[in-house]
Structure formats: C-alpha cells, structure tokens
Amino acid sequence: MLFERVVRPALFRIGSGDAETAHEWTLTRLAGLPPAAWRLLASRYTVRNPRTVFGLEFPNPVGLAAGVDKNGVALAAWPALGFGFVEVGTVTAHAQPGNPKPRLFRLRDSEAIVNRMGFNNEGAAALARRLERSVVTRKALTTDRSFPLGISLGKSKVTPLEEAVEDYLASYTLLRDHGDYFAVNVSSPNTPGLRSLQDRDSIDALLSALVGEKPILVKIAPDLTEAAIAELLEVCLARGAAGVIATNTTLARDGLAGADRVAGEEAGGLSGAPLTGRARDVVRFVHDETGGRLPVIGVGGLMSPDDAARMFDAGASLVQVYTGFIYHGPALVRRIASLKKGQS
C-alpha cells in the first residue's frame, strides 16, 4: 500500500503529470542506485519459484515486459525488484526517435495506458555496446545465474516492409551473444505496416532467417482473429519457434471507465485492465490450438495475483507485467511470483 498511497502519486506528479517524463525519470534513478540499494530491495522482493521453459531456467515466472527498459539502462534494478527475467527493447537496427510527443497517456480510472511510442530506441549497436561494457549490470544480472535476459526485436521505421527480414536479422546478429531469448515483435500498432508481418508468408520468412541457436518467440496482437492466429501458429511450429508471447497492446477501446473515454481516443495501443480478458483468451487459444507444444508467455492486463493465476490456468508458462507494475509496483511482482502451480 505504500507504493499506491505515496510512491505512485509522487511519480505521477513528475513533469506536471507527463507520463513519459515520469517514466524516464524513474529509469534514470533506478539506473543510479548503488549495489547496496539493490541488495536491500532484493531482500524484500526476491522470490524463488523456479520454472524451466524453452530450455532456460527462470528463478520465478514473472518477467518485465518489453517497453519499460527499451535501452537496457536499468538492468541491475529489475532482479532486485523481484522479477524472474527481463525483456529489453523493442530495439531496431537503426536508432530512431519514435513518434512525436506526447505519446504516452495514463487512463487512471481504467488502470490502463495508451502509447504510440513508435519503437523509440538507441539502436541495436548501442544496446550491444551497453550490454558488453556494463560490468556492474552484468554482475548484478548474474547474481542469480539463471536470470534470463530477453531482447525484443522490431523493424526500423525507415526500412521498407519488403526488407524487414534483413532489418530484423541485422539487429539479431549484433545482439545474439547478449540475449538468452529473442522476441520477434511484429504486433505493435505504432509502426506503419508492422502488423502485416504476422501474415503467413512474412512470418515464415522471418522465422526461417532467425531460428537457430537461441530461442526465438513471436509476439502477437490481441486483435487477430482465431483463424489468423491459427495460421501463424502453424508457421511457428513448422519453423521451430520456441514459443509465443501473447499479447501486445490492443487497438480496441472496450472496457474504459467513463472518465477515461476522452483520453482513450488518443491513437496508439491500449494496455492494462481493459485487456485482461482478451489477452487471457488468446493465451488459452494458443495453448489449446498447439496442444501445449508452444510455450506461451502471457502478458496483458495482469493487475492482480488473481489475474496472473487465471493466465497460468489458461496455459501460460510464464507471465510479464508492464502496466500492472506502473500502477501497483514491485509488491505485485512479488505476489504473482509467489503463486504456486495450480493455484487460482
């Protein structure tokens, strides 16, 4: 309750309430914490509840979703805040500023966020250099040797769709030695044309180029029909994808509180509580359609331990949080991480 009563209101006031300013301020402060602070936080929030999924050992099944720490600037903080893994990015082959600001909006009554960030990031080469040279970060990450690092890959905005495979492959080649698994993000609604890469031929070409020594997962949109998801899953199985991340943000605006309907009209992807049910339905469909052959990382609207328990019951092997963490802090991570298999 300390986070929700004191910390969150203070963070939400930073930058006169601008969500992106508060986000960047928080990342900078987390990145600057001394190791003693990490150890103190870890003593409060670390939970051991190991899972082994697609050949990797996770100290607990709760990850930080892509989009929070795009450039990997605060990596040492995440295990200290209770996460069992972290996914950085989405990163692109070319550095890019993203879409014009403002581009991140809180819908407080709905416990939701709308973003149209547009893959703003420093580029794959910069991330590779940071992961290579940041000795303190890497030591912190390997305090628990089984703390996996995922890297989310996206298409550069300047790259034509017909050259998407080469663009993803360029990022992967630069980062291959630094990630334990890679997520192919073809489902963000904020890069023009990107979602068309979920089509059979496009995802087949991407996976054909990328699947190899490291686990490759595909992140899908919640707005796909079941027929489209089934077609994508056929390709994932045929090409040897290690799993699926379900889901990305949604273009739908169902379930918003009345006070948030004006802000909800902002263009971009919606995350948070309104996505809870749809994300769970997609996870269940993926699990049932593949007979459990493709592990699923469930993400979307996990705002409570009960939401996470239902996601696990639907077939998720692991879960990720983003908006739930923004609204409820590290205590939510600890409570989800403490869930036992079959607990609901």
Query: 307-336, pLDDT tens digit by residue?
Result: 999 999 999 999 999 999 999 999 999 999
Look at residue 289 in the predicted model and tell me its pLDDT. 97
The more confident residue out of 76 and 218 is 218
Structure confidence by residue, pLDDT tens digits, 205-255: 999 999 998 999 999 999 999 999 999 999 999 999 999 999 999 999 999
* 21 labeled binding residue: no
Q: How many helices (H) and strands (E) does the chain have?
A: 14, 13
Structure confidence by residue, pLDDT tens digits, 174-185: 999 999 999 999
Give whichever of 225-229, 256-260, 286-290 has the largest mean pLDDT: 286-290
Nearest to 89 by CA among 185, 19, 160: 185
- Structure-block tokens of residue 215: 């686990």
pLDDT at residue 342 tops 60: no
Peptide bond into 90 cis (omega under 30): yes
Q: Residue 44, Cα to own-chain centre: how many angstroms?
A: 24
pLDDT at residue 142 tops 60: no
* 118 labeled binding residue: yes
pTM exceeds cut of 0.85: yes
Q: What confidence tier does 146 reach under pLDDT thresholds 50, 70, 90? A: low
The stretch 146-159 carries a mean pLDDT of: 93
**Structural element, H or E, at residue 248:** none
pLDDT at residue 141 tops 80: no
Q: Which residues contact 34 (CB under 8 A, 6 or more apart)?
A: none
Q: What confidence tier does 26 reach under pLDDT thresholds 50, 70, 90? A: very high
Q: What confidence tier does 340 reach under pLDDT thresholds 50, 70, 90? A: confident
3-state secondary structure 113-168: EEECCCCCECCHHHHHHHHHHCHHHHHHHCCCCCCCEEEEECCCCCCCHHHHHHHH
* Residue pointed to by tokens 């996505």: 275
Q: What confidence tier does 198 reach under pLDDT thresholds 50, 70, 90? A: confident
Look at residue 343 in the predicted model and tell me its pLDDT. 52
Cα torsion 52, 62, 132, 76 to 10°: value is -130
**Residue 188 bears catalytic tag:** yes
* 99 labeled binding residue: no
pLDDT at residue 278 tops 80: yes
Percentage of the residues of the chain whose pLDDT score is greater than 90: 83
* 173 labeled binding residue: no
Look at residue 235 in the predicted model and tell me its pLDDT. 94
* 290 labeled binding residue: no
Structure confidence by residue, pLDDT tens digits, 30-66: 999 998 998 999 999 999 999 999 999 999 999 999 9
* 327 labeled binding residue: no
Domains, the chain: 2-337 (3.20.20.70)
Look at residue 344 in the predicted model and tell me its pLDDT. 45
Q: What confidence tier does 136 reach under pLDDT thresholds 50, 70, 90? A: very low
* 248 labeled binding residue: yes
* 190 labeled binding residue: yes
Compute the distance between CA of residue 75 and CA of residue 73 in angstroms, rounded to an integer. Answer: 6
- The H-assigned helical ranges of the chain are 2, 8-13, 19-31, 35-45, 77-80, 124-133, 135-141, 164-175, 200-210, 226-239, 276-290, 305-314, 323-328, 330-337
Q: Which of 187, 188, 202, 317 is catalytic?
A: 188
Tell me the backbone φ, ψ of residue 320, rounded to 5 degrees: -130, 150
pLDDT averaged over the chain?
92
